[in-house]
A = this chain, B = another copy of it.
């Protein structure tokens, strides 16, 4: 029998295990031009929380009682399509299923298991690497000598953003949720400084201390009060990349905070929402650049690997507790 994880309820506020359902079904079998895939690594990402709401967004909501879908690296087990062979590895947006059949593989990308660990294609060479690279370069536009602040800095996207900032010649300061993570930012990822927001009362002062020349680019994965403190340190003509708002995703009413318009005007600031899917035409160029840096030893990545298909929902929930260092993936 095959295992499938479906969305059992639309969570209100913080999601819980009861919002997911592990079901069994008959093993699928491919017809002409179809492929049978076996999931190897499953990606869990904060943005998926948004798809659990029944709300209009850039991507349709998950359907109730249907499999959840997300980034998955899979192996081709059986191919009735001339473009794919058994044993090929592919990455794409697939269902949370142990095994699944896809129509023709047109939306899948083949990946090379020898060039990088397979899980990297969900991380630094996948959507998270692309998000970091394209969000920073297309909106943040960091210039040599500028100061870059990254929130969620020890997370999958944040740790890559900071390293690219260093490659671009910026002073890079990361905000994370434990002293251990802050240590890692500096020792492993080469950040110039870090701030543990959980032990910081006054974020604005903490950012001012670590960024004596102010902040030129803020790559924001969290929003909320952490960001309020960074905003107060923005320099004129600063750029704020709104990549994520994990601090607000589980809110049950509209979160309020300081109105930003007076600050945007006074300092001629730009704030722009970033969604990696808008930049699809730049993916292959970006992946090539990331792979080059990776091979040159200029990029480190870390991942938290959880084992077992049934543990996917718990791994997803753990994202909101900051339990992961770097990219969170589940090895099926």
Contact yes or no, A259 B58, CB < 8 A: no
Residue of A260, A270, A274 contacting most chain B CB atoms (<10 Å): A260
What are 26 pairs between A and B in contact, CB < 8 Å?
A58-B236, A58-B266, A58-B267, A220-B261, A223-B259, A224-B259, A227-B261, A242-B265, A244-B265, A248-B261, A255-B258, A255-B259, A255-B262, A257-B257, A257-B259, A260-B260, A264-B271, A265-B273, A265-B274, A265-B275, A266-B273, A269-B272, A269-B273, A270-B271, A271-B271, A271-B272
Contacts of A265 in B (CB 8 A): 242-245, 273-275
Complex alpha-carbon distance, A305 and B239, angstroms: 40
Q: Is the CB of B268 within 8 A of A245?
A: no
Contact between chains at B259 and A248 (CB < 8 Å) = yes
| Contact A268/B278 with A256-B256, A257-B256 known, Cβ cut-off 8 Å | yes
Cα distance A50–B261 when bound, in Å? 13
Identify the closest chain B residue to A271 (Cβ): B271
Which B residues are CB-close (under 8 A) to A248? 259, 261-262
Identify the interface centre among A243, A265, A270: most chain B CB within 10 Å of its CB.
A265
- The reply to whether B278 and A273 contact each other, CB–CB distance below 8 Å, is no
What's the number of copies of this chain in the assembled complex? 2
Q: Enumerate chain B residues within 8 angstroms of A244, measured Cβ to Cβ.
A: 265
CA distance A92 to B228 in the complex (A): 37
Cα distance A259–B223 in the bound complex, in angstroms: 9
Query: Is A284 in the interface zone, CB < 8 Å from B?
Result: no
Determine whether the beta carbon of A268 is less than 8 Å from that of B274. Answer: yes
- A residues sitting closer than 8 Å to B (CB atoms) are 50, 57-58, 220, 223-224, 227, 236-237, 242-245, 248-249, 254-275, 278
B273 & A267 in contact (Cβ 8 Å cutoff): yes
Query: Which of chain B's residues has its CB closest to A255's CB?
Result: B259
Query: Given the complex of chains A and B, what is the CA–CA distance between A259 and B245 in angstroms?
Result: 10
Q: What's the nearest-Cβ distance from chain B to residue A196, in Å?
A: 22
List chain B residues, Cβ under 8 A from A57.
Answer: 266
Question: Chain B: which residue is nearest A270 at the CB level?
Answer: B272
3 tightest CB-CB pairs across the interface, nearest first?
A: A264-B273, A223-B261, A265-B273
Q: Check if B266 sits within 8 Å of A50, measured CB to CB.
A: yes
Given A57-B266, A223-B262, 16 more A-B residue pairs with CB atoms under 8 Å apart are A227-B261, A242-B265, A245-B259, A248-B259, A254-B258, A256-B258, A257-B259, A260-B271, A261-B271, A263-B273, A264-B272, A265-B273, A266-B273, A267-B273, A268-B274, A268-B275
C-alpha spacing A254/B224, complex, angstroms: 15
Q: What residue of chain B has the Cβ atom nearest to residue A59's Cβ? A: B266
Q: Which residues of B contact A243 (CB under 8 A)?
A: 265
A35 CB → nearest B CB, Å: 32
A58 to B269, CA, bound (A): 11
A263 proximity list for chain B (CB < 8 A): 273
A235 CB → nearest B CB, Å? 11
Report Cα–Cα, A245/B269, bound state, in Å. Answer: 14
How many Å lie between the Cα of A262 and that of B56 in the bound state?
Answer: 12
State the CA gap A243–B266 with chains docked (Å). Answer: 10
